[in-house]
Amino acid sequence: MSGETMTITTPDGAFSAYVARPKAAKDPAIVVLHEIYGVNAVMRGVCDALAAQGYVAVCPDLFWRIEPGIDITDQSEAEWKRAFELYNAFDVETGLADIAATIDAVRGRPDVNGKVGAVGYCLGGLLAFLTATRTDADASVSYYGVGIEKYTAEAAKLARPLLMHMAEEDQFSPKPVQELIKAALRNHPQIEIYTYPGRDHAFARPGGEHYDETDAKLADARTMAFFQTNLN
């Protein structure tokens, strides 16, 4: 596999995406939707791991309209503050337009077999949910999305599979909010929800304060099985 960049063009301008791909001629693709820290080492690592599993993995710079090239961590107070500034400045609607443009560009790559999924974390977890309801992504996975409760009615438009991972002790999505989400979505034929007792937000982020190796591996195994079923 190799790490490289691609450029995605929109009517408003162009932005870059990190790409990791296997050596096979044609594979399914997965668009990776980043957290509030931009296309950083953690997200590039997610892409590299997906490429090792046989997927063309593409992580677009969804903050490009605010500031291109954001690459920060959760390890300092200054970075934490900057991340929340980016989160507050981010426009979900234009972000989704950029995701749709990314899916189209990825689907047209010569090394992609036409199937494109999406996986997102934190802010990207919300965007993965909306990618499932608003784009033609073939399958989507949301890790601890923040703000999904505002959009649950959109599940009525959902025609393709969606897998959701929820941390039961998520500080950014309290239990009453989670119950609202589960009540609204649990009977949808295309949605599968897993909850993780005792886990806080970002339990699957390596190196993060709330990282839990056991449940991260469990969630990732469920994700890979889901993509294997729906993209291969």
What residue segments make up the domains of the chain, in order of their start?
2-231
The mean per-residue pLDDT over the stretch 34-40 comes to: 97
pLDDT digits (tens, 9 = 90+) for 68-83: 999 999 999 999 999 9
223 pLDDT more than 80: yes
Supply angle C-alpha 196, 201, 205, rounded to 5: 95
Q: Does 170 participate in catalysis according to the annotation?
A: yes
List 27, 98, 170, 212, catalytic entry = 170
Q: Is the dihedral of CA 150, 155, 156, 157 positive or negative?
A: positive
2 pLDDT more than 90: no
41 pLDDT more than 70: yes
1 pLDDT more than 80: no
The mean per-residue pLDDT over the stretch 99-111 comes to: 97
Its pTM stands at 0.97
Question: What's the mean per-residue pLDDT of the chain?
Answer: 96
Percent of the chain scoring above 70 in pLDDT:
99
List 27, 200, 201, 212, catalytic entry = 201
33 pLDDT more than 60: yes
User: Do residues 68 and 61 lie in contact, with contact meaning Cβ atoms separated by under 8 Å?
Assistant: yes
Give 217-221 contacts, CB < 8 A, sequence gap 24+: 219/143, 219/165, 219/194
Q: What is the 3-state secondary structure (H, E, C) of the chain?
A: CEEEEEEEEECCEEEEEEEEECCCCCEEEEEEECCCCECCHHHHHHHHHHHHCCCEEEEECCCCCCCCCCECCCCCHHHHHHHHHHHHHCCHHHHHHHHHHHHHHHHCCCCEEEEEEEEEECHHHHHHHHHHHHCCCCEEEEECCCCHHHCHHHHHHCCCCEEEEEECCCCCCCHHHHHHHHHHHCCCCCEEEEEECCCCCCCCCCCCCCCCHHHHHHHHHHHHHHHHHHHC
**Residue 185 burial (CB count, 10 A):** 19
Q: Would you state the pLDDT for residue 24?
A: 75
Q: Would you state the pLDDT for residue 143?
A: 98
183 pLDDT more than 60: yes
Domain 2-231 has CATH 3.40.50.1820: yes
pLDDT digits (tens, 9 = 90+) for 189-213: 999 999 999 999 999 999 999 999 9
Q: Would you state the pLDDT for residue 23?
A: 81
pLDDT digits (tens, 9 = 90+) for 45-71: 999 999 999 999 999 999 999 999 999
122 pLDDT more than 90: yes
pLDDT digits (tens, 9 = 90+) for 8-31: 999 999 999 999 999 877 899 999
